[in-house]
């Protein structure tokens, strides 16, 4: 830790930095990075920005994250982990109600983290292979959860055909929610959620 | 036309080049460019590739298209015009049947032009503003056609809310068809088309 350099801005958290292990400190910095993504795109979240916000030196950030690519990747990994965690459906209840609750949490997540989320989606859809892979992993987690949560296949049977439909439906959910946040077009949050939950059975029913 | 340089490869079309006007020749070259996109990504379609396939010099291509960015843009413009044209619904019939016919034509288009189409979608979804704008124009044309073809609003009423839903539905159609072409997952072409046509009313009904 010889490369620690105090800067003029205060760390902003109450606890002295020395109490945290390097792993905890790294996690704390990642959380800060993810929270900065709420109002910034991924391109705007640089090592410099994080250094300033955390009140630590760029050198220390390089110590934790290697280089700017590793830093970006670590932040995106943390952001998509958060997405998966925050959209976990409640434990009990009917599959369709739990899907609705999970979709409501997804809408809230996108509203709260708009700038960063849209930049991750774009980077993943564009040519960035690492980010595409990371985001694809998150999509797969969300999808696999659907099958484990709905073990009886009440909403979606566990088949390749249903998985294909679910992929299309996820793309729709993403597009709809991202557009709705910017321009609700007279659609209420409830109508948005109803549209998402109503369209899934319509897609699956053609397979039966 | 002083910059014409004959190359060793034959032009491959029967008519002598001198019979075509510059405008016709440019169109012919664009059509060749678009047809090459069936099995190549946009990045792989370079001035060099087109020059070799057309049997003319790079210099002449620069004469027609200015620079490589303008060339790419012109090819994409032509490709999305083709997409809009080839997916035009039949003149008569019920709105839902015409939507089905249009979606069938879309599926066939994607099958026939997979490599180029997927690269255009990715470039548009990623950071390329010009290509995003071009592709967005095509999406808007496809959407506006839906409203003019279905003037009574039998499938989709002409409201901002319905337009939002239609955007989400288009994203699903794109994702589903692109994935289905690569990995049908046991879903027949008919089921795919049924899923697309069945899900649209489900999305619109929540608005009524």
pLDDT tens for residues B110-136?
999 998 899 888 888 776 788 888 888
Question: Is residue A47 scored above 70 in pLDDT?
Answer: yes
Residues B165 and A173: their CA atoms lie apart, in Å, by: 10
SS3 string, chain B, reads: CCCCCECCCCCCCCCCHHHCCHHHHHHHHHHHHHHHCCCCCCCCCCHHHHHHHHCECHHHHHHHHCCHHHHHHHHHHHHHHHHHHHCCCCCCCCHHHHHHHHHHHHHHHHHHCHHHHHHHHHHHHCCCHHHHHHHHHHHHHHHHHHHHHCCCCCCCCCCHHHHHHHHHHHHHHHHHHHHHHHCCCCCCHHHHHHHHHHHHHHHHHCCC
- Cα gap B176→B199, rounded to integer Å: 12
CB A194 within 8 A of CB A97: no
Q: State the pLDDT at residue B175.
A: 94
The Cα–Cα gap between A194 and B86 comes to 34
Q: For residues B195, B118, A177 and B204, what is the CA-based torsion angle, rounded to 10 degrees?
A: -30
State the pLDDT confidence band at A150, using cuts at 50, 70 and 90: confident
pLDDT the model gives residue A28: 92
Say how far apart CA B151 and CA B149 lie, in whole Å.
6
Q: Do the chains contact at A125 and B126, CB–CB below 8 Å?
A: yes
C-beta separation of A148 from A66 below 8 A: no
pLDDT for residue A165: 95
Please tell me the predicted confidence (pLDDT) of residue B86.
94
B207 close to B162: Cβ distance less than 8 angstroms = yes
Spatial contact of B147 and B156, defined as CB atoms under 8 Å apart:
yes
Selection from A147, A169, A140, A95 nearest residue B195 by Cα: A169
Best of B118, B155, B164 to mutate (most A CBs within 10 Å, chain A): B164
Q: What pTM, to 2 d.p., does this model score?
A: 0.82
In this predicted model, what pLDDT tens digit does every residue of A66-95 receive, in sequence order?
988 899 899 999 999 999 999 999 888 888
Summarised one tens digit per residue, pLDDT across range B134-167 is: 888 998 888 888 887 777 888 888 999 999 999 9
Cβ count near A94 (within 10 Å): 11
Q: Confidence band (pLDDT; 50, 70, 90) for A122?
A: confident
**Residue showing tokens 């056609």:** B145
User: Is residue B191 scored above 60 in pLDDT?
Assistant: yes
- Please tell me the distance in Å from B53's CA to the nearest CA on chain A: 27
* Residue bearing the bigger pLDDT, A143 or A10: A143
Query: Has residue A15 got a pLDDT over 60?
Result: no
B186/A123 CB distance under 8 A: no
Q: What is the share, in percent, of chain A residues with pLDDT greater than 70?
A: 90
Q: Which residues of A touch B164 (CB under 8 A)?
A: 176, 179-180, 183-185, 187
Per-residue model confidence (pLDDT) at position A130: 86
Residue B132: closest CA among chain A residues belongs to which residue? Answer: A126
Give the residue on A whose Cα is nearest the Cα of B198: A202
Contacts of A84 (CB under 8 A, 6+ apart): A138, A141, A142, A145
User: What pLDDT does residue B18 have?
Assistant: 61
Residue B173 has pLDDT above 90, yes or no: yes
In chain B, which residues have their Cβ closer than 8 Å to the Cβ of A127?
122-123, 126
pLDDT for residue B123: 82
As a whole number, mean pLDDT of residues A42-69 equals: 92
Residue of A43, A37, A179, A41 whose CA lies nearest to A113: A37
Q: Do B202 and A185 touch (CB under 8 A)?
A: no
Two tokens, residue A149: 């949560």
Please report the pLDDT score of residue B127 as a whole number: 65
- In angstroms, the CA A84 to CA A115 distance is 18
**pLDDT of B56 over the 50 cut:** yes
pLDDT-derived band at A18 (thresholds 50, 70, 90) equals: low
DSSP state of A88: P
Mean pLDDT (chain A) is 86
> Is residue A39 classed as helix, strand or coil in its secondary structure?
coil
């Amino acid at each position: 830790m010889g490369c620690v350099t105090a800067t003029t801005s205060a760390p902003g958290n109450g606890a002295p930095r020395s109490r945290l292990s390097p792993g905890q400190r790294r996690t704390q910095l990642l959380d800060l990075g993810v929270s900065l993504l709420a109002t910034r795109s991924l391109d705007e979240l640089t090592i410099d920005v994080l250094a300033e916000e955390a009140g630590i030196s760029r050198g220390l950030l390089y110590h934790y994250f290697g280089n700017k690519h590793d830093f970006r990747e670590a932040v995106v990994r943390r952001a998509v982990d958060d997405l998966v965690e925050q959209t976990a459906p409640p434990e009990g209840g009917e599959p369709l109600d739990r899907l609705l609750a999970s979709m409501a949490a997804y809408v809230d997540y996108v509203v709260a983290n708009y700038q960063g989320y849209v930049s991750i989606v774009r980077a993943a859809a564009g040519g960035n292979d690492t980010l595409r892979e990371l985001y694809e992993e998150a999509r797969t987690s969300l999808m696999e959860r659907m099958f484990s949560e709905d073990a009886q296949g009440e909403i979606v049977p566990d088949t390749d055909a249903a998985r294909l439909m679910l992929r299309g439906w996820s793309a729709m959910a993403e597009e709809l929610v991202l557009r709705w946040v910017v321009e609700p077009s007279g659609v209420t949050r409830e109508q948005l959620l109803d549209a998402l939950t109503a369209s899934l059975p319509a897609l699956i029913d053609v397979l039966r």
